[in-house]
Structure 1
Amino acid sequence: MSRRLLAGTLLLAAGALAVWHGAYRTVESVLAGALIRLYTSDSVYVAAERQSVYLGLGGERPFGLRMSPECTSAFVLLPLLVIGAGMIARRPAVTRRVLGALGIATVLLVLLNQLRMLVLVGTVNSFGAYRGYLLGHSMFGSLVSVIGGVAVLVLFVWLATRSPEGVAPGRQRPSATRVLSSPGNRRPCRCRRHPWRGRPAGRS
């Protein structure tokens, strides 16, 4: 696949994510429901069509969480796709590193958002619906999102721009031919000319 086609594919993926982020949030909601079931013994219901997760149904403190556009990881992943497309278009040599960095960043962003949801559920269970939601969403959840998001961004840039081991940035690894033919690696010739010990030609 050519670099232009690959960069265009990433831009199309970013555009699709911006237009159909509702489907992305649906997947995140289903995943959040599955993880919350492992975390709590309360009954959990996932309304995938509304991107919502309901907990504690039938109990004393039922509440629901909706994966709104502000709470999804889609709009954090979107600029990384655009940046990755630009890097591939400008420097084809970094294509593999950029794609690998995008894959790792995508997984980490999804897991980070799920961790934020679990923190929110934990604060609601501990401090009640009103106070727990304020603490989990505005304080602890924001800390998880900001610190984790910055860490993922730094990791993406490092993975996408790091040079191969032993090669300085912007320089290519010298080939074996260049190494062997470089002046510093040439061994001085140890051969000596031996004088002619025979008779000169044409003389008796």
Structure 2
Amino acid sequence: MAVASAPNSGTTKFPLVIALGALMVAGAALVLAERFYRELEVRLAGVILDLITTSGVYVAPDRESVYFGLSSATPFGLRMTPECSSAFLLLPLLVVTMAMLYFRPANAKRLFFSLGISALVVVLVNQLRILTIVGLVHEFGTDEGYYWGHTLLGSMVSVLGGAVSLVLFVWLATRKKKA
């Protein structure tokens, strides 16, 4: 008769501790370096705007600002404030990933894949929000366009996009493999 040895619980928990620690560090980095993160978001917005507009774009990352319509009669600038950044929309995804990883460490690969896809969706949704504001300012002018773009439609885009990314994360992380 063979004797089965019990796994060493300290050894098997080590990768879980590393993964959870990495997620905590990522969350802390998002909070502590959120200004740097906003600078990156503004740079990305500038690249996208430069590709789709012909009226001139200028990015001032040190001011977390992107200016557009520079060759038009009404140039306009947007400043990325902390509450307009996607950084804090990523935190719930990290927390949910940590919780699911803690209870199902065997699903780590799938959870990190889901986190990556959902985080990309959050970043792209925030860029869509910026493009919404830019489009409405261009179409309806500074006052009315900014009001509708930032206050109403921009907020709706962020809320719906955040919800979609969270649902997408859970769906990707929990779907059954095909037989």
1:113 and 2:126 aligned: yes
Gaps of 5+ in 1: 167-204
Contact 1:8 1:85 (C-alpha < 8 Å) held by counterparts = no
1:99 and 2:99 aligned: no
Gaps of 5+ in 2: 1-13
In the other structure, the counterpart of 1:144 is: 157
User: What CA deviation, in whole Å up to 9, does each residue of 1:37-80 have, x standing for no partner?
Assistant: 12211111100111100112353211100111111111010121
In the other structure, the counterpart of 1:3 is: 16
Percent identity, please: 49
In the other structure, the counterpart of 1:35 is: 48
Please tell me whether Structure 1 or Structure 2 has the larger radius of gyration of its CA atoms.
1
1:18 to 8, 31, 38: 31
Taking structure 2 as the reference length, what is the TM-score of the superposition? 0.88
Task: Give the deviation of 1:87 after TM superposition.
Answer: 1.6
1:71 and 2:84 aligned: yes
Off by >6 Å, runs of 4+ in structure 1: none
In the other structure, the counterpart of 1:159 is: 172
2:68 to 31, 55, 70: 55
**Matches of 2:70 and 2:136, distance apart in 1:** 17
Amino acid paired to 2:51: L
Task: Give the deviation of 1:161 after TM superposition.
Answer: 1.9
Contact 2:119 2:165 (C-alpha < 8 Å) held by counterparts = no
Secondary structure in structure 2 of the residue aligned to 1:2: helix
Amino acid paired to 2:140: F
Taking structure 1 as the reference length, what is the TM-score of the superposition? 0.78
**Matches of 2:59 and 2:66, distance apart in 1:** 4
Instruction: Kindly report the root-mean-square deviation, in angstroms, between the aligned alpha carbons of the 2 structures.
Output: 1.3
**Matches of 1:142 and 1:59, distance apart in 2:** 27
**Matches of 2:123 and 2:52, distance apart in 1:** 17
Contact 2:125 2:157 (C-alpha < 8 Å) held by counterparts = yes
